[in-house]
Amino acid sequence: MDDLLERYRAYLLTARRRSPLTAEVYLREARGLAQRLAERGSDIRTVSPRELLEYLVERRSAGLSSTTMARVVSSVRSLFKFLRLENLRSDDPSELIETPRLERALPDVLALEEIDRLLASIDVSDPGGIRDRALFELIYSCGLRISEAAGLTFDSLFLKERMLRVTGKRRKERIVPFGENAAAWLTLYLDTARPALAKGRRSDRVFLNHLGKGISRKGVWKRFSQIRGLSGVGGKVHTLRHSFATHLLAGGADLRTVQE
């Protein structure tokens, strides 16, 4: 590993024309990543996108500023570009990862207790209710936009790995993990509620409406408004995304899962 990192230093100084100071900062980040992965039984040559995301979230939760976190992400991407050039990896696990960040002060953020109360208020005695619980658990767990959740298809869902491939604004793809709560409700929905909603129809969309077709953005918004009224919790569907970002950056993980 030391020899590999020394070659990385040379790459930064010559091929990338980084200053000695910048090269040392990038090298320090690479050593830190390699050490943390080694503690987990992994390696920079084999680390998966999920493991890399967990590392970045861990770094963010340590209280790093946005500027410092941007440097960490830049150095990580530089490292994996080097590994590909060296033919030590055929892929780039940093390519599809969107680092969670607060772009502005986030409005209408719900407390964890309010998130719990909102989700617990959903009546799961029928297929539609089970779908709603799975849908909003997933939106919160992944920080999804309404359109991303409504348009989710099976070829973008990796239930066993607890990961989604999401196409966001400007057709940009990212890989996001989801927690145990969302996985449990999603499994229940797919096993019991979705077949009842499908009514024999074939669809590649994960979340269906009562007609067996893919649920629309308007449908998601309408269901959230009804649930919000029952729970007494304010906010809009996008509030779940705002809350996800704030809780992730504050605690570095799915805090509801950690608390349980």
Handedness of CA 21, 23, 26, 27 (dihedral sign): negative
Q: Residue 100: which region, alpha, beta or left (left: phi > 0; alpha: psi -120 to 50)?
A: beta
CATH number of 2-85: 1.10.150.130
CB count within 10 Å of CB 221 equals: 15
Domain coordinates of the chain in residue numbers? 2-85, 112-259
Identify the pLDDT of residue 235: 58
Which residues are CB-contacts of 58 (< 8 A; sequence separation ≥ 6)?
Answer: 36, 252
Quote the CA–CA distance of 174 and 58 in Å, as a whole number: 19
Identify the pLDDT of residue 189: 96
Nearest to 185 by CA among 229, 136, 233, 218: 136
Residues of the chain with pLDDT under 50: 100-107, 242, 245-260
Given strand 157-158, what is the order of strands in its sheet? 157-158, 163-167, 173-177
- Which residues, listed in sequence order, are joined to residue 166 by a DSSP beta bridge? 174
> 112-259 sits in which CATH class?
mainly alpha
Q: Indicate the burial class of 167 (C-beta count within 10 angstroms; 0-12, 13-18, 19 or more).
A: middle
Handedness of CA 197, 171, 169, 93 (dihedral sign): positive
Residue 253 exposure: Cα atoms within 13 Å on the Cβ side: 13
Q: For 130-160, how does the pLDDT look when each residue is reduced to its tens digit (9 = 90+)?
A: 999 999 889 888 778 888 999 999 999 999 9
Distances in Å between the Cα of 238 and the Cα atoms of 65, 210, 235 are: 25, 23, 8
Residue 102 identity (one-letter amino acid): L
Distances in Å between the Cα of 255 and the Cα atoms of 51, 112, 115, 155, 180 are: 18, 8, 11, 28, 11
Radius of gyration of the chain (CA): 21
Identify the pLDDT of residue 203: 94
Quote the CA–CA distance of 242 and 256 in Å, as a whole number: 15
